Structures are given as C-alpha cells and as structure tokens.
Structure 1
C-alpha cells in the first residue's frame, strides 16, 4: 500500500474529496485488523474512525506488511522492526484513538541476541563461535565418549542458573579439536541469558599481546581488571603459550589470586593438571622454578572440576 498522502494527492477537490475519503474509509472498515479493533472497542464510531483516517490507514498498511514479512533486514514499515498498534481511551464520553510503535518478534529476538553478545567479551577468539548455533543434543549424541563431561557441564549451567554464581570452575582437558572451546562458548552463551557477564581468552595470543602492553600500562591495567571482575572467565588453550616469568607471576597470578574463592574460572587445555604445573614451572628466562609453578597451580587445582573431553578431532587434524 502506498502512503495516504500519495493517495490524497490524486483525490478530486471539493465535495469529490469527501466522497473519496468515505470510500476509502469503507474499504478500511472491511479490513480484518480494523474489524478486530472495532470488536475490542465498540465505543468507536464511524466519525471517530474518519477523524483518525491516517492512523487507521497506517495501521492496516503495516499489518499487511507484517503478515507477508520479508525479514527484518527488508522490513517495509516506516521504522524497521516496528509496527503500529492502536489503542482507544474514552474521555468525557468521547473515544480517542492513539497509535504507538512496538517492536516485532524478529527485532526483539535480534535485540536479545545483541544483549547476550554484549555480556560476553572475547580476546583472540573468533566471534562467530560465541554467536553460533549450539545443539545440546548433538553435543552428547555425536560423541558418546564425551557424554559424561557434557552432562556435567549441563548440570553446572543448571546449578548456576538456580543458585547463582559458583566459586568453582571447570577444567576441560583432552586432545586437539574435540570441542572444548565450543563447550565453553556454549556455557557463556547460556549463562549470559541469566545476566552473567563472561570473558573468553585464547591464552597463547593473549600472553604475546600482554608483552606488548608493557608500554601501555593503562591498557594492561584495564585488561587485567576486566578479567578479575567478570563473572565467568575462560582461559582457552592454557599450556600452549610461551610463558614468561612476569606474565606468569604478575598477570596470570594476579588475576587468579583475586578470583579464587570469589568467582569461577574455566580452562581448556591439552595438558592434564600435573602437566600444566610442569609447564608453569619452567620458563625460557629462568629455567626450572617448581615453587612458582606450584604457587600458580594452587590457585587453579582446588577450584576446578576436571572434565575429560574425548572423541574425534573436529578440525580434521591428524
């Protein structure tokens, strides 16, 4: 439907315009949306509707658009993702018609997804992994070998939703490409629906970037503070980084020291906990420092449940 203003430009002047207006009003009154409106508000007279001809026309036009919705990105309504609703109030025995714009279900869904994404920050992780299509059923049925771990993750999500933020996190360990990062992204996505914030960090690239932040102390402080304060923190592929004593002791140690007994931290790794401790105990600069590795592990080991993630390599690697 074209705009009412465009129609009026073609109407004859004088008495003919009034007749044309009445004809268009008759047509609008036969529209299902207007019939439903009058059924809800029998106090509306023909005169009331004539005085609000523009509102009625806009209402019918957008109802038609929504009935044949071409998708949010091609929404033909005046305001993308919004449609007109009409409401009636009776004041001094006179019915007054009001219009307002309300968001459609597609726009609400998009806004809800945007809110979820705003609660989860990623560092060096493909953003598509956070906004992907997650299938809880496939997580179990495609790889029976990891079903126990996946069910444990589902239980953890349920417990957090019901009882609030937990102090313990999870340590997902297994071979390359078995879906550990995918499972953590799923968890962040699901708990973001409950209003929890999250950060997922790909540790090897994070460690290298931290070294470059030495000349940007404000940025470094902001990054560390974000990781300390977020509700859910995931260190992805920990143990694959080229660790320096300073990053281990003053960055990782600071973050984990703050979070233990406060907020849960999660890990994915190809190393079991004992192997991770050996990794933390050796740096290229200072060599073997067993007590330094143990100190960091004392902030990890007691605060996680270990989950073995087995199955085939989803990346097609050998």
Structure 2
C-alpha cells in the first residue's frame, strides 16, 4: 500500500500545487524586507527555520505591503488593524509580533486627550475646513496669510523645527477656520495637532485643581506635536494661569521644538499688555514679557483682515 505522504505528494504534483507553492515561497523570500531581515539574522537561525517560519514571513510581507499602501486607520486591512509586524529570532526560529503604527499611537493619544481635555474641539465644520475654501482678497492681505499658513502646514516638522504661527485679526474674519484648515492639512501628512479653545481650557484648569488632574492636563497639551491655541487673550488672566499653566506649556514646547499655532484678536503688543494684568488688578510687565519671549520669536505673525463673516 502506498504511504499517504507519497500519495499526497503525487496529488500535489499532478494538481500543480507544488509549483505554485514554490512560486509563492520565492516571492516571499525575494521581498526586500524579508530578504534583508533573513540576511541580518541568518547566524541566529537553525537549519530549517526559514521553511518552518514561512507562514510568519508571508504574513509579514503582506502586512507591510498594506502599510506601504496605507488606506488609513479605519480601513486598515492588517490582521490587527493599526498594528505593524516585526520579525524576531527566538531559540533559532522565526517569530513575529505586532506593534501599534504611528496612526494608531496618534489615535490613542487623541482619545486620551479628548477624555482629559474637554476644551479641545473638532466640530463638523472644522473637519471639512480646507485652504481651497478660505476666502481671499488681495486688497486685505488674506491671500498672503493663507499662503503662509498653507506653507506651514506643508512643511511643519515637530521636534526639528519649533516655529509656529500667530494669526490675529478682528472678530469673525476666519482665523479659527484657517487654523482648522492647517490641522486638516497636517492630518493628511499624518501629523497630529491638538486644537484647544484657550479661554475654556484655562477655566478647565482651575477646576482641575480640585480634581487633582492639573499635571495630567498640562502634560496632554504641552506634548502635542502641534498645539493650536484658539482665541488666546479672550480669557480672564490670573498669575497662576499665566505663569504656571501657559508658561509651563510654552517653556516645554520651546525646549522640545514643538510648533504652536495661535489665534487672537490681539497683535503681539496688545497680547503682552493683556498678559501684564491679572484679575487681582496687579501689573507685572516682566512676567508678561517672559511669556511673550516664548511666543514672539517662535511664531510668524499673520494679520487676517476682512469683513466679519459671522454677520452675513
């Protein structure tokens, strides 16, 4: 009686499976990532390890192909959505594990920030904001401001270049919309930004004292790759907010070269004047200047003029 293994081999040969299997294995082993990894770790693998680890190598190859053609976190086709594979040798055999990708890490960080910082917001309108829909008028310089904002969104490099933007102008001229357009353009580059309404955030920080979450909230904001503080200067300022909250955030971001984008109704000089006075009625010019030294040299000032679009 013919052994079953011989019968199975003969059947596979007749059906052409063996040839197709060999082609599949050849395509896996010739893939650059697989080939380079096997070359680096060849001395750590026992005889037959490659054959035994073929399933892991095949999954590794396909998962990285998905990552190279990333369709976004929500449509990730990997076995573990949002995770990238890593090969490693163990006891002479090929093993594989998964690590979260940059999009997954950013999404998890975003969820944590949303749970912690209630004053951050991304409305349905802001999710649709784009530079194509920014109204420009060469007579009021809006086109110049939009161009500089677009260039920032296209070239910003957190951790390497800490230069940000300072958008100022009167009520309703579209400062926040342009900030949202920057955030969406950054998202296209897989760069995370945190958009925070400054007056609400500072009110939230006062409540955090009783909750014992001050340091957590400050950490969530100060470490954002790109921080966007909307409507800075509209808040009622206190010494603690200015020095221990805003000052601590900006000092960290300056040191770590993390860009910050601001919107305000005030220009630099007017904001400094605002920061010099607290709700206690005192005047502290030097402390206001200290904050401005963490804003003015690290931003490009963009003036946004035009009609109040909220009144139309």
Task: Please indicate the TM-score interval, normalised by the length of the shorter structure.
Answer: 0.5 to 0.7
Matched, 1:301 2:296: yes
**How many Å apart are 1:165 and its aligned residue?**
5.1
Gaps of 5+ in 1: 1-89, 98-102
- Which residue is 1:215 aligned to? 210
CA contact (8 A) 2:154 2:185 kept: no
What does residue 160 of structure 1 align with? 156
Distance 1:91 1:316 in 2: 76
Measure how far apart 1:158 and its partner are: 2.3
Structural mapping, 1:128-167, within 5 Å: 128-134=124-130, 136-141=131-136, 145=140, 146-160=142-156, 166-167=161-162
Q: Is contact 1:239–1:269 with CA below 8 Å preserved after alignment?
A: yes
**Structure 1 residue 215, shift from structure 2 partner:** 1.3
Paired with 1:130 and 1:265, the residues of 2 have a C-alpha distance of 18
Number of aligned residues: 218
Contact 1:201–1:236 (8 Å) recurs in 2: yes
The TM-score with structure 1 as length reference comes to 0.60
**Larger Cα-atom Rg:** 1
Contact 2:172–2:309 at 8 Å: present in 1 too? yes
- Normalised by the size of structure 2, how large is the TM-score? 0.62
1:182 matches 2:177: yes
Q: For residues 275 and 75 of structure 2, what CA distance do their matches in structure 1 show?
A: 40
Structure 1 residues 166-315: aligned runs within 5 Å:
166-217=161-212, 219-261=213-255, 262-315=257-310
How many angstroms apart in 1 are the aligned matches of 2:126 and 2:73? Answer: 15
Write the distance in 1 (CA, Å) between the matches of 2:73 and 2:138: 31
The alpha carbon displacement at 1:149 in A equals 0.3
| Residues 1:94 and 1:143: Cα distance change in structure 2 (over 3 Å) | farther
Task: Tell me, in whole angstroms, the C-alpha distance in 2 between the residues paired with 1:131 and 1:152.
Answer: 21
RMSD: 3.2
Note if contact 1:281-1:288 (Cα within 8 Å) is conserved in structure 2: yes
